Chain A
Amino acid sequence: MTSIIDERPAEHAPPKPRSLGRINWLGFWTLYLKEVRRFMNVATQTVLAPVVTTLLFLAIFTLALGRAAPEVGGVSYAQFLAPGLVMMSMIQNAFANTSSSILISKVQGNIVDVLMPPLNAAELTMAYALGGVTRGLVVGLSVALAMWIFVPMQVHDPLAILFFAVSASLMLSLIGLIGGIWADKFDHIAAVQNFAVMPLSFLSGTFYSIDRLPENWRFVADFNPFFYNIDGLRYGFIGHADGSLLIGVGVSIAINAFLLAVAYLIVARGYKLKA
């Protein structure tokens, strides 16, 4: 039995539904590119500004320590500090990218344009998350190159650098994604930024060896994924770690898997995204 449609002249036939395949790579890639272009369009603010801020930190701390700066972990203080600052800038920027993108879309109402296209929750989550990871890596690389001018940085283990750079960017990118979905206004995201991301990125061994902490404060490091990421990245540069690398890798993978699951679930349920 032929349907009515087949009897019509060809030009009147409705277009056939496009087959998107198992994974909508084109849609995923488009959203990812949109996320990257969003921050590259304002690179002065999103890449150059963190570079300047980080160099300022480097200057302040080296100057404050004076010429007789003590060695930390077998290298000069500046060499110890540099990887910490690279990690700090990646953490803050990966978080800023996803959280601001989602929240601005929500506040301005154009989040619909992302929800309507044929992208499933996993594709949405991954595209946003990888956009944040890209921002983190671009900023981290820029900061590292800029600091290379002032600090003789060595590369001890490129693989460790790559792993911890990606893992920290992904972690913060996912936290930003979840935070951006949860937040109703910019104050909420500013609160997460000021009271969680900033303190954790500051106090987890960015500026000092964790040995400096009093005994009963060491737990700050033991259960802190920020610490393992900073410590691991620093190991990649200077070849000295305060904590265990193996535990660091394990903790990073576990926390990223958990965050991915949470992000996927809330995107899939449309929590605060679909009315």
Chain B
Amino acid sequence: MSGAAPRPAGLDDASAAPTPRILRTPNWVGVKTLYRRQLTAFLRFGLESIGGPLVSSLLFLAVFVLALAGREEMLPGIGVAEFVAPGLVAFALAHSAFDMGAFPVLHDKLEGMIQDVAMAPLSALEIVAGYVLAAATAALLNAAAILAVVALFVPLAFASILQALLFAGLLALLFALLGMLIGLWADKWDHYSAAETFLIMPLGLLSGTFFSIATLPETGQALMRANPVFYGIDGFRAGILGVSESEAWLGAVLLAVLEIALVLVLWRLVARGYKIRA
């Protein structure tokens, strides 16, 4: 055999073991990749399913306006449709954030794909960030679409867009975190839908979404003031309508504290490999 063709210079190095790639902490590329994977999945399939929440939001709007026609004002100066519209958007936002937070985690677990995420050079916190931020983004996109359609039928003041955005973000994050928690805990789809029916629906629907807390008895009002979701919905409504029943700063702080606590819980769970590693 003739000798090997002259090897180009530099190939000698190739025979050596490849040097490990250095990943800085945080691994931004990794987080971004996980985020994009989740969001792409939503954009591909989720946008098709936006019709469902959109129709049900409009249905609720119609039903409330027709059923509550006897009442002229929900809050001073605010009619039924104006009051209910931001509540509907906030509910759709919360519901879809939960959906998008729980669904991918449970799906990845059941299909065994969660290993691909667990093996990637991502820390526990980065995994949480990738899943949760994508879920929150998807929910915000969903809610924006619904708000746009609802605004066609109901005159909304858009008093403070910044405040509306802040509280929409906080709500989306809260329910995305709850969603991921449920997704990690659930072993099958039954668990997921049980959590949806018995936890998320009551939390989303009874937190001042469709009624002013002034209609509640004393104890109800006190309970409501201890419910962070109420602050989220009320803060969002205040951003849209300019009328509120709670302190915006208190709500923002409460939600932020709760979210930090949830992030810590999720971080520990993922780090321990709770229901991810056998």
Which residues of A pack against B, CB within 8 Å?
A: 42, 44-45, 49, 52-53, 56, 59-61, 63-70, 187, 190-191, 194-195, 198-199, 202-203, 206-208, 212-213
Contact = CB atoms under 8 A, between A and B. Distances in A.
Interface stretch (B126-134, B209-217, B239-247): B209-217
A49 to B, nearest CB: 4
Closest 3 CB pairs of A and B: A64-B211, A63-B211, A70-B70
Q: Tell which of B66, B69, B193, B201 has the most Cβ of chain A within 10 Å.
A: B66
B211 A60 contact: yes
B29 interface: no
B117 interface: no
Nearest to A207: B67
A198 B55 contact: yes
A212 B67 CA distance: 8
B56 A194 contact: yes
For A42, A44, A45, A65, the residue with the greatest tally of chain B CB atoms inside 10 Å of its CB is A65
A171 to B, nearest CB: 20
Nearest to B69: A212
Given A63-B215, A66-B71, A67-B215, A212 B66 contact: yes
A69 B69 CA distance: 11
B68 A64 contact: yes
B95 to A, nearest CB: 13
Interface string B194-210: 10011001100110011
A191 to B, nearest CB: 8
A54 to B, nearest CB: 11
B226 interface: no
Interface residues of B, number: 33
B48 interface: yes
Contacts of B206: 56, 59-60
Interface string B55-69: 110011011101111
Contact of B52 (A66, A190, A202, A213): A190
B210 A195 contact: no
B218 interface: no
A253 to B, nearest CB: 29
A198 B190 contact: no
Contact of B55 (A68, A70, A194): A194
Contact of A65 (B56, B70, B209): B70
A178 B209 CA distance: 37
B78 to A, nearest CB: 13
Contact of A45 (B84, B193, B201): B193
Given A52-B202, A67-B215, 10 more contacts: A44-B190, A56-B206, A60-B210, A64-B68, A64-B84, A69-B70, A194-B51, A207-B67, A212-B66, A212-B67
B66 A198 contact: no
9 contacts: A44-B190, A49-B193, A64-B68, A187-B48, A199-B55, A202-B60, A203-B59, A203-B62, A206-B63
Contacts of B193: 45, 49
Contacts of B209: 60
Q: Is the interface of B mostly helix, strand, loop or mixed?
A: helix
Interface of B: 48-49, 51-52, 55-56, 59-60, 62-64, 66-71, 74, 84, 190, 193-194, 197-198, 201-202, 205-206, 209-211, 215-216
Contact of A61 (B55, B67, B194, B202): B67
Given A60-B205, A65-B68, A212-B66, A195 B55 contact: yes
Contact of A52 (B52, B84, B201, B216): B201
Nearest to B48: A187
Select the residue from A44, A60, A68 with max chain B CB neighbours within 10 A. Answer: A60
A247 to B, nearest CB: 23
Contacts of A207: 63, 66-67
Contacts of B69: 208, 212
B271 to A, nearest CB: 32
B231 to A, nearest CB: 18
Contact of B215 (A64, A187, A191, A212): A64
Given A52-B202, A65-B71, A66-B71, A44 B194 contact: yes
B210 A45 contact: no
A11 to B, nearest CB: 49
Contacts of B56: 194, 198
Nearest to A63: B211
A206 B60 CA distance: 12
Most A C-beta atoms less than 10 A away, residue of B60, B66, B67, B69:
B67
Nearest to B216: A63
Contact of B51 (A42, A45, A70, A195): A195
A199 B194 contact: no
